[in-house]
Structure 1
Amino acid sequence: MNDDQIFKDRARVLDEDLAGRASTAGADALLAEIVSLERVPARRRLLPSPGRALLSLAAAAAAVTVIAPAILSDGTISVAPQPSTTVSATAEPTARQILLAAAVAVEKAPASGDYWRIATVNQWTRPDPTRSYVLEGSGSHETWLARRPDLKYWRIRQKLGVKPATPQDEAAWRAAGAPTSWRYPKDMKTENLFSVPSKPLEAAAGERTAERLYWDGPGGQLAGEDVTWKQMRTIPSEPDKLRSYLEERIGRLELPSGMDAKEARAYILLRDCVDLISGLPASPEVRSSAYRILASLPSIRAEGEMTDPLGRRGQALTYQEEIEPGLFSKVQLVIDPSTGLLLAEVRTNTTKLANGRQAELRLSTSFQAIGWTDDRPDLPAHRD
């Protein structure tokens, strides 16, 4: 039996044994156990008897602070701000350890429902049109996808407003006359760090609106290709088979000339796995295998705990994204290993303003809910 299966079985035993505790205690203790095991050389790892293993893991579960997600009436997991998760006072978990614990936890997610729902808050920063200060804006986004033709697809969006990003930016904004609307020239230089808005940005929040989507649309995309609902059910759930499946799809892509094919395909594999855990209505087993593939990739590093843009604590994993030749952006994945949920994805870079100041640019997606639900969307009056 391999280590992954041992870890999986131990977490399940813990959840059954620790009656009355948060249902995520097994995964929290599992992460602590993985950290402990991987600090011991492989030749010295001795598996204790089942009774002793259970007691040691139960003690570990009692020693950690558990993130207890809110479980909605339909079983959908909604991630709310919780106290800090402390795994070990002496050693931070590695990226592999965090991802393996998340792989075990996500298998417990609901596997069916009327709708696949993703609710996010998207935040960004970019220079104003004169590059004198930095603006910060945000918006909410909900997608409701259904496998049944008698249910409607919906996309619900709202712009939440724009403001100066920092007190320093606010001072420069006031010096510029405190505008409440910003129109960008189409040819504005951006170094590919941000997209030029096609419409003026407004300080005030916008109206919440709903857009009806076509039912016969795909369930999502992998490697640049649509995945139908029928194909979604055939995605392999074993890690090796899932990796082969993804690599076969990636191999059909036409890569830009001059790009290192091996590096490009490795990056697309990473992104496909992130898409599987954060967006596509794949089975819990498929999402678990996506985490296991990520755990095998050398490009991901652990950075310890961090607060996501919504104030929630999670484990931060990072990698570099090349947005143009020689220009890299730092990408952080904030994960709650006790639920297997991706809390947020944050991209950061820096740019130079007109006065020579180096300013941070950030683009983030914070996930408020991911998963199946039998609820119905709360539709606003304004519908397209």
Structure 2
Amino acid sequence: MNDLEHLKTALAVPAPDRSVRDAGRHRLQRLIRAEGGRPSGGPRLTWRGLAIGAIGTVAAGAVLATTTLTAPQDPGTGAIAPGDSSVLLPADTVLMAASSKVRQRPEKGGYWRAKTENAPFKYKTAKGYTVQATMRTETWITASPQVKGWRVFDMSGYAPATPADKSAWEADGSPTSWRVEWAPGFCEQVKVKGGKDCHVTVTSEPEHSVEPIKTKNSIGDLGGRPITLDQVRALPTDADGLEAALADRMPGIEKEELRDTIIFEAGIDMIMRLPVTAEVRAAAYEMLAGLPGVESTGVIADPLGRRGPSVATNADGADNVLYQLILDEKTGLPLATQTVEVADGGTSGASVVTEIGWTDEKPGLS
């Protein structure tokens, strides 16, 4: 079964209850943003296929809520703690300060570059132990009429997640590949409709790939729809206009109970993943500052231990889950996003930015 056939089978599942659908849609969107789940072998879900699946799943209401990414945590870093109350500035103050800082940043260079890292992707094997891999994504976009850009993926090979998993793996004969469910729970729904097996094979071999970006077609997505470089350049530079433009890309959003959460997440996507101008990025922060329900969560550490002010809103319309943005206080640029379980501080869907902005460096495409 190829990528599109696999996704069509998944999307043929009848829509579940509305609350389950909403939660699954946003969790899936964050999974895609974290750029995870690129297994090898079996029915291979490529990054392009996952992006298509994310858009289609929004429409079909398919749920992948049980597919979880777990970010590395160190209780000593206070990564999910409320932060130092002495520096707990209001969310709109934090976001307006970020707006002012990014508006002043120079935008010079031949390429727009963004590098992100994900939290480890984990799968439980049939023998009960867990294997995990990490992935880095690098995006290069240029205005050159010849070559528009590239997206570079580097996935480490899967390996036992903990010392205990390593012992179990050795007892299993130290295999180098594992057949696993890529979406536990959802697979059973697919099988009810007579769908194919919902497993993939992951291996210990690292993966490296380079995909060209043709900006006349799409350089990414915004609001669940593909967006071209020309469309990015035409985005409004004021908060109200930008919010209206996002709403226009998502028909029916005004009737959505989770409208503000969806706008919040789309605004962050714009800041982190698209080569918008400084003015548009500043307007995006101002738009976020004006959304109801956005709160400050203090100065915290991201999964790499870098500290910065953070804001969050209730994800999926639930009080026990937050979608959180961590900022670089000096530059106003994003450090990371993560989904936080309020009860225990656990994180999922973490996406960490290591580099973002315009540069005269050239991409290494070996």
Same fold per superposition (TM over 0.5): yes
Q: Where does residue 157 of structure 1 map in the other structure? A: 153
- How far did residue 149 of structure 1 move? 1.3
Q: Where does residue 374 of structure 1 map in the other structure? A: 360
Identity %: 31
**Residues 1:304 and 2:305 aligned together:** no
**Residue ranges of structure 1 left out of the alignment (5+ in a row):** 1-82, 351-357
CA-to-aligned-CA distance 1:26-65 (integer Å, 9 cap, x gap) = xxxxxxxxxxxxxxxxxxxxxxxxxxxxxxxxxxxxxxxx
Determine the C-alpha separation between the residues in 1 that align with 2:227 and 2:249.
Answer: 11
Determine the C-alpha separation between the residues in 2 that align with 1:186 and 1:91.
Answer: 41
Change (3 A) 1:92 1:148: same
Pairing 1:17-166 to 2, within 5 Å after superposition: 90-130=86-126, 132-166=128-162
Q: Which amino acid aligns with 2:313?
A: Y
C-alpha contact 2:123 2:180 (8 A) present in aligned 1: no
Q: Where does residue 202 of structure 1 map in the other structure? A: 203
Matched positions, count: 277
CA-to-aligned-CA distance 1:192-217 (integer Å, 9 cap, x gap) = 9xxx98642233533x3322333422
Pairing 1:156-305 to 2, within 5 Å after superposition: 156-167=152-163, 169-170=165-166, 173=169, 179-185=175-181, 188-189=184-185, 199-206=200-207, 208-250=208-250, 252-253=251-252, 261-305=255-299
Change (3 A) 1:186 1:142: closer
- How far did residue 326 of structure 1 move? 7.3
Change (3 A) 1:95 1:224: same
Change (3 A) 1:264 1:360: closer
C-alpha contact 1:94 1:302 (8 A) present in aligned 2: yes
Determine the C-alpha separation between the residues in 1 that align with 2:359 and 2:122.
Answer: 35
Which residue, 283, 299, 309 being the options, matches 1:315?
A: 309
CA RMSD of the aligned region, Å? 3.6
SS in 2 for 1:217: coil
Q: Which amino acid aligns with 1:200?
A: T
Determine the C-alpha separation between the residues in 1 that align with 2:297 and 2:356.
Answer: 24
TM-score (norm 1): 0.61
Change (3 A) 1:166 1:263: farther
Determine the C-alpha separation between the residues in 2 that align with 1:185 and 1:123.
Answer: 19
**Residue ranges of structure 2 left out of the alignment (5+ in a row):** 1-76, 189-196
Determine the C-alpha separation between the residues in 2 that align with 1:162 and 1:120.
Answer: 19
C-alpha contact 1:123 1:136 (8 A) present in aligned 2: no
CA-to-aligned-CA distance 1:339-371 (integer Å, 9 cap, x gap) = 111111123569xxxxxxx99673321111111
Determine the C-alpha separation between the residues in 2 that align with 1:113 and 1:268.
Answer: 32
Determine the C-alpha separation between the residues in 2 that align with 1:164 and 1:197.
Answer: 22
Change (3 A) 1:215 1:170: same
SS in 2 for 1:303: strand
Q: Which amino acid aligns with 1:188?
A: P
Determine the C-alpha separation between the residues in 2 that align with 1:245 and 1:113.
Answer: 27
